[in-house]
Amino acid sequence: ARPNCSVGTPRVINAEKSEFNEDQAACCQISIRRREPGLEEDEEWLILCSTQFLTGYYWALFDGHGGPEAAIIASNYLHYCIKQKLEEVVGGITEARPPMHLSGRCVCDSDPQFVEEKHIHAEDLVVGALENAFQECDEVIGQEMEATKQTGGCTALAALYFQGKLYVANAGDSRAILVLKDSVVPMSCEFTPETERQRIQHLAFLFPKLLDGEFTRFEFPRRLKGDDVGQKVLYRDYFMEGWGYKTVEKADLKYPLVHGHGKQARLLGTLAVSRGLGDHQLKVIDTNIEVKPFLSCIPKVNVFDSALHDVQEDDVLIMATDGLWDVLCNKEVAHTVRSFLADNRTDPHRFSELAKCLVCRARGKKRGHQWMLDESREASYDDISVFVIPLHKREED
């Protein structure tokens, strides 16, 4: 177990089942400099006198592939990108009369009605900052990897607690859920070649050259073989959620752009995720086909407003890489969380012990040559990283 954490109660636990762990975790406080409104760049001395800070709390998990390098760079940079992007919009969050229009106030006297209709709130600026920060971080990773001739990529799942709200930004197949007293709230969804099939196929439809004649953009329920030519088979194109029949042509025998199901699904036969950071140099093996155009570094951001909920002492945010979720469903995790916290009410380290407990459950027990979850289910062979983040404010301690 590797506690890798700089503030507060959360602890990150890593199973270290393999020697080559590609998961990375980061956790820190983010101080956002708030400038006195109306000051110009050249009044720097005034800014120094009047600087105030807003505080955010940040946790993130990165699951690397093709080596841990991208995950390491992301864990070193993403919080800085978020800080920077939040500072760019902090005026809109804190000023009484922010640029343009926020929280019902409007500075566009000529046309007040129109901007009011957009209902833009401080929350939307934080979401925008996170979206921009992921893109910025992806660029930084691209530069760093090129300069050091390293390769690889990583998923990114980041949580930010800021101004009473919890923001969860996800690009990849890690997952965050809130385990509350009476409910489980998903705070992310997974981005894989399967969940993003239509986006990926559509890009290949718009730019067929990206496939260099080596792949077919159609989806088939199984790999086609030579003797399927002339037969009717099920297929889907980019615009279809349903299925149709087509008569197999020779071109359909090419390897499919998106192929396989569940954990076996692959983009260009290469990657198991469709969003994340890095992979700028990644090519399909033995070809000149680039994978990056089909990847997205943009996260989907979910927001939880703790002011709207009566947060309880045992309410927690669980963040984990796919190593946990591959073998345990939300319900099983929620059950473990609730029973563990109820049984260990007085332990001052119970949240980090819970993270350890979740990792150990997914890691399983060795029986002969196999790691098993229980009598019948195989345990996770992947890296497993878990954050347990209590939502309730602790008494001053």
Contact in structure between 154 and 74 (CB atoms under 8 Å): yes
Contact in structure between 196 and 257 (CB atoms under 8 Å): no
Return the residue of 2, 7, 36, 99 that touches its own copies, per CB under 8 A. Answer: 99
Which residue type occupies 375? E
CA 187 vs CA 149, 170, 184, 242: distances in Å: 35, 9, 9, 28
| Cα–Cα dist 185/221, whole Å | 32
Among the listed residues 387, 293, 391, the one whose alpha carbon sits nearest the alpha carbon of residue 63 = 387
The phi and psi torsions of 365 (rounded to 5 degrees) equal -120, 145
What count of residues does the chain have? 397
* DSSP one-letter code for 194: T
> Does residue 205 belong to the site contacting its own copies (CB under 8 A)?
no
Q: Of the listed pieces 29-37, 54-62, 99-107, 375-383, which binds its own copies according to CB under 8 A? A: 99-107
> Does residue 115 belong to the site contacting its own copies (CB under 8 A)?
yes
Q: Of the listed pieces 45-53, 216-224, 272-280, 376-384, which binds its own copies according to CB under 8 A? A: 216-224
Contact in structure between 51 and 149 (CB atoms under 8 Å): no
Count Cβ atoms below 10 Å from residue 311 Cβ, excluding itself. Answer: 17
* Cβ 148 to its own copies shortest distance, Å: 27
Q: Of the listed pieces 118-126, 181-189, 210-218, 344-352, which binds its own copies according to CB under 8 A? A: 118-126
* Cβ 35 to its own copies shortest distance, Å: 12
Which residue type occupies 45? W
> Does residue 86 belong to the site contacting its own copies (CB under 8 A)?
no
Chain residues 227-246 in contact with its own copies, contact rule CB under 8 A: 231-234, 236, 239-245
Return the residue of 28, 128, 210, 254 that touches its own copies, per CB under 8 A. Answer: 128
Token pair in block for residue 187 = 């705070």
Q: Which is nearer to its own copies, 198 or 344 (CB)?
A: 198
Chain residues 163-182 in contact with its own copies, contact rule CB under 8 A: none
Q: Which is nearer to its own copies, 10 or 92 (CB)?
A: 92
Q: Of the listed pieces 23-31, 87-95, 320-328, 387-395, which binds its own copies according to CB under 8 A? A: 87-95
Return the residue of 15, 70, 74, 125 that touches its own copies, per CB under 8 A. Answer: 125
> Does residue 257 belong to the site contacting its own copies (CB under 8 A)?
no
| Cα–Cα dist 221/327, whole Å | 25
Q: Is 264 helix (H, G, I), strand (E, B) or coil?
A: helix
Residue ranges binding its own copies (CB under 8 A): 85, 88-89, 91-92, 99-102, 108, 111, 114-115, 117-118, 120, 123-132, 135, 206-207, 221-223, 231-234, 236, 239-245, 261-262, 296, 298, 300-301
